[in-house]
């Protein structure tokens, strides 16, 4: 067989149509694969979102505020200051000030009080005694 | 979940239409190329599916139709070469639908094509791909070189070597 005869046969091969069912089968399978891929993609996104929400809910409040403060400081180009956790204050309720009852001191009754006043003259001393 | 999926499909309907058009327009040529290189219908169908799936992931942002065609051919041929390197030997011959002509002449012609296809299957994968693209599909040498990722002179040399081998195989068959 010469080169020209071979090339003629090749040209004939080019014109041979492919079976139409083959192409239909490809399109059908392709559509299935694309759809299943899209479903997996949606499922993966939903799962990822759920995981993020779950992590956010499970993290302690302090860790979240500390991280937020650090991120903010980093964005402003300053070193992060450790956040101070302020304890939650109880709601304010109007309370009547407590009346402080002062216990009356018992009067010293028995012991006598003595006041001694010394004068310029060392021999004279004024002595006051209460009963 | 189903509603969300439906919404996504709705949003990409225009892209899907464009993709469908490409599958319709290019599917036949790709199937023919894959079938000729692999010599097996099932494998060729798998390759074409893979090529279109890759196109779906890649998207349709090509500068023009020629670039799209070249990309599709390149992916298909590379997949075929990979497959034919590790695949079973070609057993099933590509029996594409033959045009009806006078019975005896047609039979002779079919016999010649069968022998030629067998001889083609005996070639190395890259030479076979070069012959399929250049001689059967009739693509210009420059396009074949771009698809195979080699130079024009390499393609010419591959085709020349392949033709010599084909002639030798056919001469042996004719004895």
Average pLDDT for residues B75-104, to the nearest whole number? 69
For residues B26 and B76, is the Cβ–Cβ distance under 8 A? Answer: no
> To 5 degrees, how large is the angle CA B4–CA B7–CA B9?
115
Average pLDDT for residues B143-160, to the nearest whole number? 93
| pLDDT above 70: percentage of residues in chain B | 83
Interface check for A23 against chain B (CB to CB < 8 A): the answer is yes
pLDDT at B93: 47
Nearest to A10 by CA among B136, B14, B133: B136
A vs B, Cβ pairs < 8 A, gives 91
C-beta atoms surrounding B72 within 10 Å: 23
pLDDT at B31: 93
Average pLDDT for residues B97-126, to the nearest whole number? 80
| pLDDT above 70: percentage of residues in chain A | 60
On average, the pLDDT of chain B sits at 83
| pLDDT above 90: percentage of residues in chain A | 9
Nearest to B29 by CA among A14, A8, A31, A25: A14
In B, which residues are within 8 Å of A48 by CB distance? none
Highest mean pLDDT among A3-7, A32-36, A79-83, B133-137: B133-137
Mutation target for B interface from A7, A30, A31, A46: give the one with most B CBs within 10 A.
A30
Q: Is the pLDDT of residue B38 over 60?
A: yes
Give the pLDDT band of residue A117 (cuts 50, 70, 90).
confident
Rg (CA), chain B: 19
Are A23 and B35 within 8 A, CB to CB? Answer: no
Please tell me the least confidently modeled range out of A5-19, A55-69, A72-86, A113-127. Answer: A72-86
Are B31 and A6 within 8 A, CB to CB? Answer: no
Give the pLDDT band of residue B5 (cuts 50, 70, 90).
very low
The DSSP annotation for chain A comes to --HHHHHHHHHHHHHSPPPHHHHHHHHHHHHHHHHHHHHHHHHHHHHHHHHHHHHHHHS-HHHHHHHHHHHHHHHHTSPPPPPP-PPPPPPP---PPPP-PPPPPPP--SSPEEEEEE-SSTT-EEEEEE-
Nearest to B36 by CA among B158, B126, B136: B136
Q: What pTM value is reported for the model?
A: 0.62
Residues 6+ apart with CB under 8 A from B141: B134, B152, B155, B156
Are B1 and A18 within 8 A, CB to CB? Answer: no
pLDDT at B164: 92
Which residue from B27, B112, B138 is facing A14, i.e. has the nearest CB?
Answer: B138
pLDDT at B87: 62
pLDDT at B158: 94
B118: left (phi over 0), alpha (psi -120 to 50) or beta: alpha
Over the stretch A51-109, which tens digit does the pLDDT of each residue have?
A: 999 998 888 765 555 555 566 656 666 555 555 555 555 555 565 666 666 666 666 55
């Amino acid at each position: 067989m010469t080169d020209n005869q071979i090339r003629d046969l090749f040209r004939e091969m080019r014109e041979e149509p492919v079976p139409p069912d083959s192409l239909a089968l490809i399109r059908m399978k392709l559509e299935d694969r694309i759809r299943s891929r899209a479903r997996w993609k949606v499922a993966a996104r939903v799962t990822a979102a759920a995981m993020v929400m779950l992590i956010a809910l499970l993290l302690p409040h302090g860790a979240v505020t500390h991280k937020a403060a650090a991120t903010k400081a980093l964005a402003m180009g300053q070193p992060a200051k450790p956040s101070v956790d302020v304890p939650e204050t109880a709601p304010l309720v109007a309370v009547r000030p407590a009346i402080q009852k002062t216990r009356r001191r018992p009067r010293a009754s028995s012991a006598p009080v003595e006041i001694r006043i010394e004068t310029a003259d060392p021999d004279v001393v004024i002595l006051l005694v209460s009963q | 979940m189903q509603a969300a999926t439906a919404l996504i499909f709705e949003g990409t309907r225009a892209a899907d239409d464009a993709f469908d058009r490409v599958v319709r327009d290019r599917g036949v040529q790709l199937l023919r190329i894959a079938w000729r290189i692999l010599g097996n219908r099932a494998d060729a169908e798998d390759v074409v599916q893979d090529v279109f799936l890759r196109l779906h992931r890649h998207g349709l942002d090509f500068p023009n139709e020629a670039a799209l065609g070249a990309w599709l051919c390149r992916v298909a041929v590379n997949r075929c070469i990979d497959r034919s390197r590790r695949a079973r030997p070609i057993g099933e011959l590509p029996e594409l639908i033959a045009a009806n002509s006078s019975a005896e002449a047609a039979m002779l012609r079919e016999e010649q094509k069968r022998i030629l296809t067998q001889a083609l299957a005996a070639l190395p994968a890259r030479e076979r791909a070069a012959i399929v693209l250049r001689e059967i599909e009739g693509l210009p040498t420059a396009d074949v070189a771009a698809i195979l990722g080699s130079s024009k002179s390499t393609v010419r040399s591959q085709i020349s070597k392949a033709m010599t081998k084909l002639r030798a195989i056919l001469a042996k068959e004719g004895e």
